[in-house]
Amino acid sequence: MTTNGWLQIAFFSLCFLLVAKPLGIYLVRVFDGSVRWLAPVERLLYRAAGVDPAEDQHWKRYAAGMLLFSAASMLLTYVALRLQHVLPLNPQEFAAVPDRQAFETAASFTTNTNWQSYGGESTMSYLSQMMQLAFHNFISAAVGIALAVALVRGIARRGNEARGRLGNFWADLVRGTLYVLLPISFIAALLMVQQGVIQNFDPYLQVTTLEGGTQTLAMGPVASQEAIKQLGTNGGGFFNANAAHPFENPTPWSNFLSMFLIFAIPSALTWMLGRMVGNQRHGWAVWTAMFVLFAAGVTTAYWAEARGNPIHVARGIDVVTTDANPGGNMEGKEVRYGIANSALYAVVTTDASCGAVNSMHDSFTALGGMVPLINMQLGEVIFGGVGAGLYGMLVMVVLTVFIAGLMVGRTPEYLGKKIQAREVQMTMLYVLAAAASILVFTAISSVHPLGLAGRNNAGPHGLSEILYAFSSTTGNNGSAFAGLTGSTYWYNTQLGLATLIGRFMLIVPMLALAGFLAEKNPGTENAGSFPVSGPLFITLLVGVVIIVGALTFFPALSLGPIVEHLQMGAGRLF
């Protein structure tokens, strides 16, 4: 580890802290209807869709609108990918996407997962990239933001006024897209072009290398895809190498911009939470809890990668950092980013449900690779995806105040609203659905011949590859350990199903929780009320997040990265 590396991590942390309040203020104004500079376009979209944006929807109607919209857009994408070969903007004349891969891709992009079992530059036409995949990059992110806003409304509203109503899904969807994602993505795309990210519709180029051979250079509208991919925490990549590709992420500044975009909206949503519920200290407490978990992950990953791989040391490779040698474990990493920015990027992209990668997590050390894995298994509540991180953490907040109430023998309350049986039931359904998907799918694939056939490694590392894949897809992350052959009927089907479970089996209980809270009238807080700000609350919230994850996934982690770490260190920690 170096001083320079820590300074870069500290600078990044300061930047996404500073953006929280100004962007948070803007988000509040967008979703309360104050921002209307695209009002004519907004009204046109409502008329075209035949919806009334003024309707205040009950949580069941809100959920139904979200589910129907997601199902229709997923079906449209599946059909478009299957017909890719007859549609325009296909200069490379790519064939139709196979049925099982089209299903997985449509499910993946609809759920903001963007898991890819294909090479983007060798499978998808320009039209498929822009009309379908980029469309979902915007819409799935807007859905996530809308859901977070709906939950916060449920917490903030009074029961005798709200009666379980959470706002209007269609209005939230349109406003999040028009006023947040589109304008910021436009500016970010221009910045990326300035840094060297390509943006064109040229056919692929055939060039002669210095050695006299030939090489095909993929072209395409990359910068426009890259901007919303990062801002919407979508992940995926125009190229198979993802953000490690020099046309997609050419410089350290484009790398910084990518990470900043990933955390910008999730950071701002915590400020929005505080403003909307009338308790700004609570919003900052949630931000602080997220940051504590983020800092712990970065420190562990950076330490593990900077220490290097003892197997390399045993073979005579110098892992000591000097002015002429980066040291540590540089396997699978780009020299232009180094160890600090590779470890930081891995943590950022798995704290959020992004999935973009600038290095191969399969080549990390056992503990370095375990950090991204744990981040996803915790529910990606550490800032998390746009919207999904906040509502996931708020579910943990409800669980925290419930546990605190049990500890002191009082009826649990959250911001004056009593947490009773049905709220706890929805909270536990949210937590258990994700855990069941990850562990059940992993268990089946780790013993079935078709699942084992996809591994590129045996032993604990092979188990980590399978566990990572289902943690990533269920967590709607989309990053890959890069050591699993996922383009098979077995994995296309199971991973596609995992993305759907990880999105919709969690969203519906969360919206029910929001509706139940919206039905309640807050009581008067007194000396016996559990405070939802301050060091005690932050400590308990962080503890609940870690303990829930540890109790659920520690046995699986023990058989995977922990065993591998002990093997690497010849049976001892190093």
- 146 in a structural domain: no
pLDDT classification of 327: cutoffs 50, 70, 90: confident
pLDDT digits (tens, 9 = 90+) for 382-415: 998 888 899 999 999 999 999 988 887 777 888 8
- 326 in a structural domain: no
| Residue-level pLDDT at 148 | 95
| Residue-level pLDDT at 527 | 65
d(CA 549, CA 573): 23
pLDDT classification of 530: cutoffs 50, 70, 90: confident
Of the given ranges (116-125, 163-172, 466-475), which has the lowest mean pLDDT?
A: 116-125
Q: Which span out of 69-78, 204-213, 549-558 was modeled with the highest average pLDDT?
A: 69-78
pLDDT classification of 435: cutoffs 50, 70, 90: very high
- 22 in a structural domain: no
- 57 in a structural domain: no
- Helix/strand/coil for 251: coil
* Mean pLDDT for the stretch of residues 97-103: 92
Report whether pLDDT(62) > 70: yes
Question: Considering Cα of 386, then 388, then 390, then 391, what sign does the dihedral take?
Answer: positive
| pLDDT, greater one: 236 or 505 | 505
Per cent of the chain over pLDDT 90 is 60
Q: Compute the CA torsion angle 71, 77, 79, 83 (nearest 10 deg).
A: 180
Token couple for 88: 């325009």
- 140 in a structural domain: no
- 188 in a structural domain: no
| pLDDT, greater one: 406 or 70 | 70
The DSSP H or E segment spanning 216 is strand 214-217
Tracing tokens 């959920």 back to the chain, one arrives at 63
Q: Which residues pair with 414 in a beta bridge?
A: 417
Q: Which residues pair with 207 in a beta bridge?
A: 215
Q: Which residues contact 509 (CB under 8 A, 6 or more apart)?
A: 426, 427, 429, 430, 433
* Mean pLDDT for the stretch of residues 439-459: 89
- Helix/strand/coil for 414: strand
* Mean pLDDT for the stretch of residues 487-512: 93
Tally of domains within the chain: 1
Q: How far, in whole angstroms, is CA 108 from its chain's centroid?
A: 12
- Helix/strand/coil for 335: coil
Which structural domain range is residue 452 located in? 388-568
| Residue-level pLDDT at 528 | 65
What is the CA angle 271-260-363, rounded to 5? Answer: 125
d(CA 26, CA 296): 30
| Residue-level pLDDT at 574 | 37
Report whether pLDDT(117) > 70: yes
d(CA 243, CA 126): 18
- 66 in a structural domain: no
Mean pLDDT over all residues of the chain?
A: 90
- 438 in a structural domain: yes
pLDDT classification of 10: cutoffs 50, 70, 90: very high
| Residue-level pLDDT at 326 | 79
